[in-house]
Amino acid sequence: MSSIGAVSSVDDMIALTASSSMLTEPRLTVDLDAVGHNTRTLASKTTLMAVVKADGFGHGAAEVARTALANGAIALGVATLDEAIALRAVTDAPILAWVTHRASDFDAALLAGIELAVPSVDHLDAITRAARTTRLAARVHLHLDTGMARDGAPREQWLTLAAAARRAERLGQIDVVGMMSHLGLGEKPGHPATAAAVTRFVEAEAVLRSVGLRPAIRHLAATAAALNEPAARFDLCRIGAGLYGIGAGLREAMTLTAPVVSVRDVPRGTPVGYGHSYVTDRATRLALIPLGYADGIPRIASGNASVLVRGRRTPLAGTVSMDQLVIDVGTLGVEAGDIVTVFGPGDDGEPTIADWARWSRTIPHEIMTGIGSRVVRSVA
Ligand SMILES: *Cc1c(COP(=O)(O)O)cnc(C)c1O
């Protein structure tokens, strides 16, 4: 066969493929020591539920869960039941899920021992049905809206919900272990909306007591309020962003690197990329990075962003494409194979996720959770 000659070099080909894929592979490295440090720092201020929804904000839910629980978190919080049930394989710790609907598989949730937020009588009915089917009492957190009109029960429905929960508790179908709400302006220290929410929360607890419910775990604050609003801490804070390094004194855990795949030397006046939004103002070198908006690099950051290469910040040149971006590296002597740091904890002058969020007019949460599935992750 004509390919016989090539067979002897299959190993070479595999080696070549492996090394060239290493050379062309963007990589997201997650530093679990940073997550551990952040957890300990926050756990010294508050009792901490580690929020690991959306795959641990893109860091790896199982790994973050284990790390947080080993460093002082006492429970896990997620959005969906699927996320919660997957985590049951990792730990026996309490796991709370708060985004469900009446058709959710509450039987599976109860069998896995998942705690459930209850924002409506509809939810409660579905959960008590599951309790009858499984003969297991559901551990629930009654969920109130204190002023963001999102997922908690409206205040005018609270007493009805409380009374129904009390009946279900008497029947042994549920244990009301908690009450919760969420803040819409936790990011703004001292905002009156937060004080109003705290007041509503306390009033709502009195309503529960009036029907004979005594939830042991009252929780209102997420990261920002846990750091800035002691009055909002109650018995537990649901900490997401903080675990991942968002907040004063905390350390970002993600580093995104990518190789330069090619360079080209161009004269002054060279337009770069879609729309020619960037035109070189001098003779310079352009370097191509195999990361684009499909990988979570926000296109809107194009005019503002920079990355670190050879120890220097270099600006993006032109618009981020779906799979590629170009940087203007001037006279730094950048060559194909050089590694570019897109973001990291900032130790070496690289941009942080907080910088990318600012450049993109969004919050760090969106940058973290937006890293695409093509990017190889290593968690250590
Ligand atoms: C996502 C979420 C959190 C975590 O918020 P951070 O600001 O990331 O700490 C807490 N509570 C609820 C209800 C959430 O949806």
Give tens-digit pLDDT for 2-56.
Answer: 333 444 455 555 444 444 444 569 999 999 999 999 999 999 999 999 999 999 9
Query: Which of 211, 244, 277 lies at the terminal end of a domain, its last residue?
Result: 244
User: What is the CB neighbour count within 10 angstroms for residue 258?
Assistant: 24
Active site residues: 53, 274
Helix ranges (DSSP H) in the chain: 4-7, 10-23, 32-43, 53-57, 61-70, 81-88, 106-111, 121-134, 158-170, 192-210, 223-228, 353-359, 364-369
Q: Are residues 73 and 181 in the same domain?
A: yes
Query: Which of 244, 267, 296 lies at the terminal end of a domain, its last residue?
Result: 244
Query: Which of 180, 211, 244 lies at the terminal end of a domain, its last residue?
Result: 244
Element (H, E) at 178: strand 174-180
Pocket of ligand 1 (CB under 6 A): 51, 53, 98, 182, 222-224, 238-242, 365
pLDDT score of 24: 61
In a domain, 90, yes or no: yes
Residues 6 or more apart whose Cβ sits within 8 Å of residue 209: none
pLDDT score of 339: 97
CA–centroid distance, 190 to ligand 1, in Å, is 19
| Ligand 1 atom nearest residue 222's Cα | 9
pLDDT score of 7: 41
Tell me the CB-side half-sphere exposure of residue 41, using CA atoms within 13 A: 20
Q: Are residues 340 and 206 in the same domain?
A: no
Q: Are residues 180 and 81 in the same domain?
A: yes
Task: Tell whether 368 is in a known binding site.
Answer: no
- Phi and psi, residue 378, nearest 5°: -130, 130
pLDDT score of 23: 53
In a domain, 142, yes or no: yes
Taking the C-alpha atoms of 222, 201, 362 and 372 in order, what is their torsion angle to the nearest 10 degrees?
50
Q: Are residues 233 and 264 in the same domain?
A: no
| Ligand 1 atom nearest residue 238's Cα | 10
Q: Are residues 280 and 237 in the same domain?
A: no
Q: Are residues 190 and 41 in the same domain?
A: yes
Give the residues of the chain that fall short of pLDDT 50. 1-8, 14-22
48, 51, 55, 183: residue to mutate for ligand 1 pocket, most atoms within 8 A of CB: 51
Q: Are residues 55 and 74 in the same domain?
A: yes
pLDDT score of 358: 98
pLDDT score of 157: 98
pLDDT score of 19: 47
Q: Is 202:227 a contact under the CB 8 Å cutoff?
A: no
In a domain, 14, yes or no: no
Element (H, E) at 327: strand 325-328
Per-residue pLDDT of 345-369, as tens digits, reads 999 999 999 999 999 999 999 999 9
| Ligand 1 atom nearest residue 223's Cα | 9
Sign of the CA dihedral running 352, 357, 358, 363: negative
Q: Are residues 39 and 163 in the same domain?
A: yes
In a domain, 128, yes or no: yes
Task: Tell whether 322 is in a known binding site.
Answer: yes
pLDDT score of 280: 98
Q: Are residues 219 and 268 in the same domain?
A: no
Q: Are residues 118 and 193 in the same domain?
A: yes
Element (H, E) at 237: strand 237-239
In a domain, 18, yes or no: no
CA–centroid distance, 238 to ligand 1, in Å, is 6
Biggest CA-to-CA distance, the chain: 86
Q: Are residues 135 and 231 in the same domain?
A: yes
pLDDT score of 129: 98
CA–centroid distance, 240 to ligand 1, in Å, is 6
Q: How many domains does the chain have?
A: 2
Q: What is the CATH number of the domain that holds 172?
A: 3.20.20.10
Domain enclosing residue 323, as ranges: 254-379
Residue nearest to atom 1 of ligand 1 (CA): 240
pLDDT score of 6: 43
Q: Are residues 186 and 312 in the same domain?
A: no
- Interior/surface letters 328-358, b for 16+ CB within 10 angstroms, e for the rest: bbbebebeeebebbbbbbbeeebbbbbbbbb
CA–centroid distance, 174 to ligand 1, in Å, is 25
